[in-house]
Amino acid sequence: NELWVTRSHYFKPVKTPMFPEGLFKGKVAFITGGGTGLGAGMATMLSSLGAKVAIVSRNIEVLKNTADVISSKSKNEVLPIRCNVCSSESVRDAVSECIDVLGLPTIVINNAAGNFISPTVKLTKHAWDSIMAVILNGTINVTVDIGKRLIAARQGGAFLNMSTSYTLSGSAFTVPSACAKSAVESFTKSLAAEWCIYGLRFNCIQPGHVHTPGATAQLDPTGRFMHGKLNKLPLGRYGEVEEVANLACYLVSDYSSWMTGSIIRLDGGEFNFAAGSFNHLIENVSDEEWAMIANLIKNKRKS
Ligand code: HXC
């Protein structure tokens, strides 16, 4: 079906920042998993819009390299900090370093994640614990640490948590991730209610398929699992890092100051398309067949 193949031409990605230069001037952002993939993409855009950004992960060499690349373009400070988000002590030290060098972050993006595709019967306890620890404990550790400091300083702030579109449905073969990300969404909504009195907002993005090397290595190492996937995406293409970054910038900026507790899906329409009972017919029914079906229905009504 030609329409199916070519429709992505209508939906070309725009990769430039959609916000004015200097939007985040004077702001400090703290981004976990900021060395690669979506985290690096969000760090890049925030930095290009004027923020000072701390990027945080276990791999300091990767962080240093990313920080150099970003700051050489944006001319704004990017601070690499080694941190294991699973450890509250490590998070405490990383946040203290960020405060010492850049200042107290009022923008926090919990992006660090762990995931791999595997039958659930093959998972060891350690495997479960590892994924839950990075995604759920990591988000809690960072949020509670920075949240308490913001509350003590009477500073408002915007938190953004990264989830995934499959929390809505659950997902076979990525069960620990689906469970942990669902909990992150609940955490987001709960603190949006509890900490609004301190000027803190919490929102969440559920990205669909954005092909970063990290995610691909963990979820489709042979390249076979994504085969045919494009046909399940109504907009005919995968997402781009910058598209997620633009939404992220909106959610941590004052443009979204009337938004909290929101979980926003950005998945090329995949979730709705997969769920709708008759959506698959757009591929399978010709105009002639529709005419024939209309006649059948009308004639049946008359009889
Ligand atoms: C079975 C596995 C495994 C695999 C690891 N394990 N990979 N078991 N199949 N493919 C097991 C290990 O054997 C070990 O258990 C336990 O998991 C912990 O693994 P370690 O390597 O010791 O731990 P660690 O170095 O901390 O690694 C954590 C991790 C890893 C979560 C397992 O994958 C990681 O750090 N990933 C970060 C990057 C990432 O995952 N990015 C993708 C996110 S994309 P035993 O019992 O043997 O000790 C994403 C979005 C999806 O989530 C959205 C799509 C729409």
State the complex-level ipTM.
0.95
pTM of the model: 0.95
What digits encode the pLDDT tens for the residues 103-140?
Answer: 999 999 999 999 999 999 999 999 999 999 999 999 99
DSSP string, 60-106: HHHHHHHHHHHHHHH-S-EEEEE--TT-HHHHHHHHHHHHHHT---S
For the cut 60, the answer to whether the pLDDT of residue 59 exceeds it is yes
How many other CB atoms are found less than 10 A from the CB of residue 5? Answer: 11
pLDDT at 6 (0 to 100): 76
Which protein residue has the closest C-alpha to ligand 1 atom 5? 127
pLDDT at 5 (0 to 100): 55
Token code pair at residue 151: 């509350």
CA of 98 to the centre of ligand 1 (A): 27
CA of 118 to the centre of ligand 1 (A): 10
Mean of the per-residue pLDDT values of the chain: 95
For the cut 90, the answer to whether the pLDDT of residue 228 exceeds it is no
CA of 174 to the centre of ligand 1 (A): 11
Give the mean model confidence (pLDDT) for residues 72-85.
98
198 is annotated as an active-site residue: no
Find out whether 207 and 269 touch, Cβ atoms under 8 Å.
Answer: no
For the cut 70, the answer to whether the pLDDT of residue 149 exceeds it is yes
Determine the atom of ligand 1 nearest the C-alpha atom of 212: 44
Find out whether 151 and 98 touch, Cβ atoms under 8 Å.
Answer: no
What digits encode the pLDDT tens for the residues 248-266?
Answer: 999 999 999 999 999 999 9
Ligand 1 shell residues, CB under 6 Å = 113-116, 118, 122, 124, 126-127, 130-131, 134, 164-166, 177, 208-209, 214-215, 218
